[in-house]
Structure 1
Amino acid sequence: MVRPYVLLSAAVSIDGYLDDASPQRLLLSNPDDFDRVDAVRADSDAILVGAQTLRSDNPRLLIGSESRRARRVAAGKPEHPAKVTVTASGDLDPELRFLHTGDRKLVYTTTSGAARLGARLDGLAEVIALGAELDFGALLDDLGDRGIRRMMVEGGGHIHTRFLAAGLADELLLAVAPILVGDREAPRFLHPADYPGGSGRRMILTDVTRLGDIAVLRYLLRDADDPPVDDDTSGR
């Protein structure tokens, strides 16, 4: 069974926040970085975000560049990557833009979450129940069975934490903006967790790119021969 290559992507402040706590979205990226993210999306088979990100940001998760979409179609791929979300509770509004744009949409949830969703997403997305809790390893197994070979994860913080804590991520692209947030109520990139290797394990820095005032750091998270760590954490 071939699981997807998992690439985590995030833009953060210098002090590790994804946003501030105000009603308006804090723009951490600049136009060059947005274009870079669009290129990474275009190279992916699927894009995953958590349900909280859908509720707070209501993104479409589409490729913006017409030329990149055309190249995908010419290569025999769908115009846009598959869109994936994860919700333990099943609390998803059928009017979310995520569900009404693009083609293939997959919603991974728990048995109780699937029961709560019922038929509300019929014709909009395929709902996959993973059992009593969200098992991210099972999620990747299922995506691999569906032909997903490369998946971009765009958050939020609890989702990034789950992939890293379970040892299920292969790469991290971190865009660091010259901004300090300093608000304990604001969403953080990562949360406390029992990460593989403990606090002393070093990631492998393979590239640093400057895009205006933003530094994009590329890390490899485990060697190709490292086995993934069993995911035994509970869903949020």
Structure 2
Amino acid sequence: MTDRPYVLLKAAVSVDGYLDDSSAQRLLLSSPEDFAAVDELRAGVDAILVGASTLRVDNPRLMVRSAQLRQKRLADGLPETPAKVTISRSIDLDPQLPFFTTGDCDKIVYVPDAAAGTAGQRLGAVAHIVGAGDPISLPKVLADLHRRGIRRLMIEGGSTVHTQFLADGLVDEIRLSIAPFFVGDSSAPRLVGDAAFPFGSGRRMHLAQVSHEGDCVIVRYLLGEPADKP
């Protein structure tokens, strides 16, 4: 495919595959070194995508944290932080979330076609609202991002978004950070949910790299031919 961005799915999990625990407080899985490495990854992409549930639960800013990295982006003629993207079927999003209020960059919300008008009234002052089918079509989302000049997209959660993109065969690379502890809570969110994935036991992904950041092991897998070379 040449009409969609290169898609990097980035996630941090416990040894037993959980993205978080079930407490009200966000579980920090990455080491300080890994947080710094992820900041560099963010600075190197054109857009970051998270699901609407992640916005409501984790309240992320999705900003490049390092002042030096932000200045480098500005020197390269780029916004100080990549575009922010979310997908919302219910459009139950607060326009005062940091996702919308922080960063001099584009914010894009993909919604069902039938909800685009209502979403525009609610969020149109703080984001670009785009109807992407009914139900929402992920290929349409990626094609629209490509038309907007997005060539590298990083997905940062959560489990539902991971599952949908992976099951649809729309991920080119996985960067998985494995934290050295267990969560052991079946009610907590896992990396993915149930789905028929293209890469099952009969089709293995290509291991591209194994490294570590602090006490976290970093694993990179490639999933077939990328849309655009990284």
TM bin, normalised by shorter chain, reads: over 0.9
Residue of structure 2 equivalent to 1:222: 224
Does 1:31 pair with 2:26? no
Does 1:125 pair with 2:99? no
Preserved CA contact (<8 Å) 1:90 1:114:
no
Does 1:80 pair with 2:68? no
Letter in 1 for 2:162: H
Counterpart Cα distance in 1 of 2:205 and 2:164:
17
Q: CA deviation at 1:131?
A: 2.0
- Pairing of 1:181-196 with structure 2 (within 5 A): 181-196=183-198
Preserved CA contact (<8 Å) 1:19 1:186:
yes
Preserved CA contact (<8 Å) 1:91 1:113:
no
Preserved CA contact (<8 Å) 2:173 2:221:
yes
Counterpart Cα distance in 1 of 2:62 and 2:200:
33
Residue of structure 1 equivalent to 2:100: 99
Residue of structure 2 equivalent to 1:108: 110
Letter in 2 for 1:47: I
Question: What TM-score, normalized by structure 2, do the two folds share?
Answer: 0.94
CA deviation vs aligned residue, 1:128-187 (integer Å, no higher than 9, x gap): 011211100010000000000001100101101111101111000000001111111101
Divergent runs of 4+, >4 A: none
Q: CA deviation at 1:104?
A: 0.6
Q: CA deviation at 1:197?
A: 4.7
After superposition, the Cα gap between the structure-2 partners of 1:197 and 1:213, relative to the gap in structure 1 and judged at 3 Å, is closer
Q: Name the SS for the 2:181 alignment partner.
A: coil
Q: CA deviation at 1:114?
A: 2.4
CA-based RMSD of the aligned residues comes to 1.3
Structure 1: segments with no counterpart, 5+ residues:
226-236
Letter in 2 for 1:173: R
CA deviation vs aligned residue, 1:60-92 (integer Å, no higher than 9, x gap): 100001111111111111111000000111111
Q: CA deviation at 1:199?
A: 2.9
After superposition, the Cα gap between the structure-2 partners of 1:183 and 1:83, relative to the gap in structure 1 and judged at 3 Å, is same
Preserved CA contact (<8 Å) 1:209 1:215:
yes
CA deviation vs aligned residue, 1:196-232 (integer Å, no higher than 9, x gap): 154321111111111221001011111349xxxxxxx
Q: CA deviation at 1:115?
A: 4.1
Preserved CA contact (<8 Å) 1:110 1:134:
yes
Letter in 2 for 1:108: Y
Residue of structure 1 equivalent to 2:50: 49
